[in-house]
Structure 1
Amino acid sequence: MNAPSQTAVLVLGGTGRTGSLVATKLAERGLATRTAARHGADVPFDWDDPTTHTAALTGTDRLYLVTPVLRVSYADQVAAFLDLAEAAGVRHVTYLSTYGGDQAPTEVDIKAVEDGLAARGALTHSILRPAWVMQNFSDAHLPVIDGVITVPTGGGTEAFVDAADIAAVAVETLLAPEAHAGAQYAPTGPQALTVGQVADTIAALTSRPVRHQDLDPEVWIGGAVAAGLVPADYAVMLRWLTGGIISGNGSTPNDDIEKVTGQLPSTFHDFARRNVRAWTAPVVG
């Protein structure tokens, strides 16, 4: 059954890994959808330019919330935007948080945003706390460089999840907000894998040697900051994300994706097979 025509969803991060998929899947299900991003979306949206906020919200009653990236302090910006969202008629928010977001360091505003949503009586909300996404290995986040994936994990495991499966869960919460009001989901893949096992899978599918280089986290974080890949204050986020795996507290498989969508999550092998060109296509430079 198609959703009523008067409902519409605003998808922040609408050109990103999950947002673009959320928008496509919602449109396929018959729900009017508008993507928002700084460039290339249906409407312009910039967290640092409040003049873009009201226009983006016009005519929407549901919101896929993606907070500013590569930042740790943004709760006040998000709260101000949600004030506008309420005034514009938004009645449900699905928030893309992070695995274990309710236990994030106090220096990072993940939990502050979660708590702020829960305190808003005029809005229902759903929180998604996904595991590390599989796409990290096929894009610039954790790329294979000269046959090596470099990231500190201490040999720990993570239930890597396909962004498409995260999007599928988000879509269900946006199609039927009343059924998912107050819900907290932690989408994961079906297997807890080491990055070494990820490397072995990529190597087998590409017939090229790939290995995991596990190194001291402070060396890795310091290198990312020194190279300008992340701001200096973002080190606390990287330390927390890698620390969970190193300490043995990485994400573990659960049935949230199947429970919400009725579909089994993708395995890393299936994901890698579908995206093998990410590691075999010639580099154009």
Structure 2
Amino acid sequence: MYRTCMPVLVTGSSGNVGRWVGEELHAAGADVRCAVRPPSSGQLPEGTVGFDFTDERTWAAAFAGVRALFLVRPPAIGNVRRDLLPAVAAAREAGVEHVVFLSIQGADRLRVVPHATVERWLQGSGLGWTFVRPSFFTQNLSTTHAPDIRDRDEVVVPAGRGRTAFVDTRDVAAVAAAALLDPAAHRDQAWTPTGPEALTYTEVADVLTDVLGRPITYRDPGLPGWFRHARTVLGMPVGMAVVTAAIYTTARLGLAAGLTDHVEQVTGRPPASVRTTAVREQAAWRRTPENPRGGQS
């Protein structure tokens, strides 16, 4: 039931999760305001508002009348105390009452990741909060890791033989949207949406092999090798490479395999499996006529 009568602001609205949060809210009849980076020229699309965590000039219009906020930390922001939390404090002063924060699995244990800093700040902020701590997004395979899979037939991550409870971003979005639609029912709760199974990356490669009809292998470059690969091959910013290394370390240590029933508990539907998502996302790994054999590196 839609219980939030004022606009809901969705940050990260073009991202893996935010885009689906917006769709879930629209489908429920919510008044959705999607935050996007202010364009250098031209008009904003209908239903959007220009917003930049690091540009105070964009905050007032974005937060006006908003009571619930979906908060996504941009990957490029590593120093959240300086570059993200001042905007959230301004949202509180503008009248925002509840924040649904897209965190990561284990943020309560991984004190070094920026998500943990945001969580601690929210807990002491006086705002209502809900933490959505998903396990590793299955769609990271079709976005961040797509070049490795498409061009080199490899899944390259430093996760060792650890298992990961992959989760579809649409399921994560459904959990977040439920908290935004009925903040009182989810106040001061932390949800950890996972998929229905925990797989090793070797098993993930086997699923991709079956779906794509060509051999896909898993290669663990180790943490130093991953950092080089992330920076030079995938083009990740330093901060993002560090955060992803920390996330993969949890898998390597066997800390990412825990399964929950939170998706079904919150949404009433079972979560998607890795295979289900891979079938839907397979176009991201298909080779193009210009690159029929995949690149080499």
Give TM-score, length-normalised by structure 2. Answer: 0.88
Contact map agreement 2:10 2:71 (CA 8 A) in 1? yes
Q: 1:169 aligns with which of 148, 170, 175?
A: 175
Contact map agreement 2:146 2:285 (CA 8 A) in 1? no
Which residue does the alignment assign to 2:217?
A: 211
Cα separation, partners in 2 of 1:15 and 1:281, compared to 1, 3 Å? same
Which residue does the alignment assign to 1:272?
A: 278
Q: Percent identity?
A: 34
Which residue does the alignment assign to 1:68?
A: 74
Contact map agreement 2:146 2:284 (CA 8 A) in 1? no
Contact map agreement 1:61 1:89 (CA 8 A) in 2? yes
Contact map agreement 1:188 1:257 (CA 8 A) in 2? yes
Cα separation, partners in 2 of 1:283 and 1:36, compared to 1, 3 Å? farther
Which residue does the alignment assign to 2:137?
A: 133
Q: 1:224 Cα shift?
A: 2.2
d(CA) in 2 for partners of 1:228, 1:192: 25
d(CA) in 2 for partners of 1:233, 1:69: 7
Mind listing any 5+ residue stretches in structure 1 that lack a counterpart?
none
Which residue does the alignment assign to 2:196?
A: 190
Q: 1:276 Cα shift?
A: 2.0
Contact map agreement 1:142 1:150 (CA 8 A) in 2? no
Cα separation, partners in 2 of 1:283 and 1:112, compared to 1, 3 Å? farther
Which residue does the alignment assign to 1:10?
A: 9
Q: Secondary structure at the match of 2:130?
A: strand
Q: Secondary structure at the match of 1:103?
A: coil
d(CA) in 2 for partners of 1:170, 1:216: 33
Q: 1:238 Cα shift?
A: 3.0
Q: 1:47 Cα shift?
A: 1.9
Aligned residue pairs, count: 282
Q: Secondary structure at the match of 1:104?
A: coil
Query: Which range moves more in the overlay, 184-193 or 251-260?
Result: 251-260
d(CA) in 2 for partners of 1:46, 1:109: 18
Which residue does the alignment assign to 2:24?
A: 25
Mind listing any 5+ residue stretches in structure 2 that lack a counterpart?
292-297
Give TM-score, length-normalised by structure 1. Answer: 0.92
d(CA) in 2 for partners of 1:264, 1:251: 18
Contact map agreement 2:157 2:226 (CA 8 A) in 1? yes
